[in-house]
Structure 1
């Protein structure tokens, strides 16, 4: 099993070590390729490291606060899913959906309310699939609250994510 795992790891890593070559074609144009062309002088191109987004965990609350909150919590699980936290979310028009994982199911008068960058977003709903529309590119924070009227019953952990929008000329 150790050799199989090593082989799979090498196969995954091979594309990351690909080399790019720069050369001048017959028409005098500068061209780039992942393989040096035959009979043409090609120079390897040094590429800068790729951008990455690191997840930043919020500071942990004191232990006694956590135990008090858990005893008052109406829900064992309340969290957002379907959001990438280790890479950018690609949404060219800024529209995407998030899912709410909740256990047990949402109770009677309770509703979900999103908090985008610490501000209420959209209308409260009892549906655990929530859509965000025309979100600007950049880093944002998102959480979901369970509310009853204007009272917050419980809030999920805050998720930090980055929206990438490609502008087409």
Structure 2
């Protein structure tokens, strides 16, 4: 484990703190008029999902943990557990479906994801940045409505609701950002 200063913490860093593994979700550097600068860090526990707000001064040392990433293929979901297979060793692991949170609908059969390990313990699943989804319901395309930067609501084949440009019609494939839940482009 590498030791880093408190002001070097960035979102996405995994830290060992208070006997647990925490991922930095938000980092706000505060420079008060009196005294030294500090980082206000919102962290999420990788094992149980608890949240914590912690203040680190620039001279504080924290342990940064490097997680090993392995590409694995999603096979199926059963009883709230997701089954993944290592593409090299063909070993299968099960992880709870709530690990993905609101990004769960984007997980598709056969999709390759990155599973992050700490030793032998699987802690996190990272979906691809963009996925292709089909629009199952939206308002019809109207002629002459392409000049303005307006958007209309749409429902995707996985149940996600998002805003799409007016030229996107029903049964079209689109590319969606899995982190921001936003339309990216036509597929």
Q: TM-score w.r.t. structure 2 length?
A: 0.19
Which structure is larger by alpha-carbon Rg, 1 or 2?
Answer: 1
- Please identify which structure carries the higher strand content: 2
Q: Which has the higher contact order (CA 8 A, sep 6+)?
A: 1
- Please identify which structure carries the higher helix content: 1
